[in-house]
Structure 1
Amino acid sequence: MPELILPTVRLHARFLECRDEWGPGPQEDGFGVGEDCDLISSQGFAAWVDHRTRLAHLAGTPCPEQPHGSSRWIVEDGDVLGGIVLRHHFDDDLGQIGYGIRPSARRRGLATWALGEMLAEARGALSVDRVLAVCLAHNVASARTLERCGGVLEGVRDTERGPVNRYWMTV
């Protein structure tokens, strides 16, 4: 049975296996990985995990210099299957929810399940009626996931990552 957990150093090797399965790129949106993140060294990984978990604990605290969000890993039997994040600020390009599922764990409904869990969290964490979620325009599976969870397509917008579908989801 899958579960959503806070990022943890305990699963460093499993996280790297997940990341290595699909390689770096936009699918890492659910993990909150930046270009300058050191995920290989124990110290760098621990600092990154500390940052992600601090953001989760501070979520909702106003701080214009450091927007907060709720990061979770999708884990089953000790394996990191993916990640999902609920941004507690509005991001017109990335949306407020981002997720990624490793290729070997796709087509099991994990993204739909995790998205439903994060929408429930958004109800309590954000003072909004709806959230924006985006996916690359060519990502048909992600578009279907967003639609299954009630996403309504606003349209397509060109971004630095390429064209994205913009979906509004009621919380």
Structure 2
Amino acid sequence: MAELSVPTVGLRVSFLAGMAEFRGEGRGAETDQTEMGYEIRRFGPDWSEAAGFARYVDWLLAQAREDSPRRPGYVPATTLWWVEDEEYLGRIAIRHRLTPTLREVGGHIGYDVRPSARRRGHATAMLRAALPVARALGIESALLTCDVDNVASRKVIEGNGGVFDDQRGAKLRYWVSTG
């Protein structure tokens, strides 16, 4: 059964396989402005070496701390991996608070499921498992956004009790209770 896990160097081989799948979709290209795209560009060249991957995992864990250095406009975020046995299936990031930009695009929680693990309920289960973590971080109602044409993500959010708030440009905004 899949479960949330803190990022760990022990999943490097499976993580790299998952990242190769994401890259096959174009993730990590200069036009990919997602957090995953940034991480692939910044850290990806060093992931093949154990020490480089360890530095990435340390950086990822540090992003949850208030005092950690981060890019301008970014807030502390707890990233957890969705893992079954020793297989990396995806990731979920819980942003500890909202900025004006995150209120429009991004919200409190973002998630990705590797292509080979999609359409098996992982995103829905991962979000469900992450809601108590968000609650423990002091988030009573989490904002989630998705593209208007992303029916799968909309179903994940609604399947976890997401209440539609509004549409802003190409994004739908939902609030999900964490309690």
TM-score between the two structures when normalised by the length of structure 1: 0.82
Shift of 1:28: 6.2
- Which residue number corresponds to residue 95 of structure 1? 107
Distance 1:35 1:109, change over 3 A: closer
- Tell me the residue number matched to 2:86: 78
Q: How many residues are paired up?
A: 162
Of the candidates 38, 42, 45, which is equivalent to residue 37 of structure 1?
Answer: 42
Aligned to 2:174, which of 164, 167, 171? 167
SS in 2 for 1:89: coil
8 Å Cα contact 2:62/2:68 also seen in 1: no
Secondary structure of 2:155's aligned partner: helix
Structure 2 residue runs without a partner (length 5+) = none
Q: Hey, what's the Cα distance between the residues in 2 that align with 1:98 and 1:32?
A: 13
> Partner residue of 1:50?
58
Instruction: Give the Å deviation of 1:33.
Output: 4.5
Residue from 141, 145, 169 that aligns with 1:134: 145
Which blocks of at least 5 consecutive residues in structure 1 are unaligned?
Answer: none
CA RMSD of superposed structures (Å) = 2.5
TM-score (norm 2): 0.79
Q: Percent identity?
A: 38
Aligned-pair CA distance for 1:168: 1.0
8 Å Cα contact 1:37-1:48 kept in structure 2: no
Q: CA deviation at 1:46?
A: 2.2
What displacement does 1:88 show? Answer: 0.4
Contact 2:78 2:96 in 1 (8 A): yes
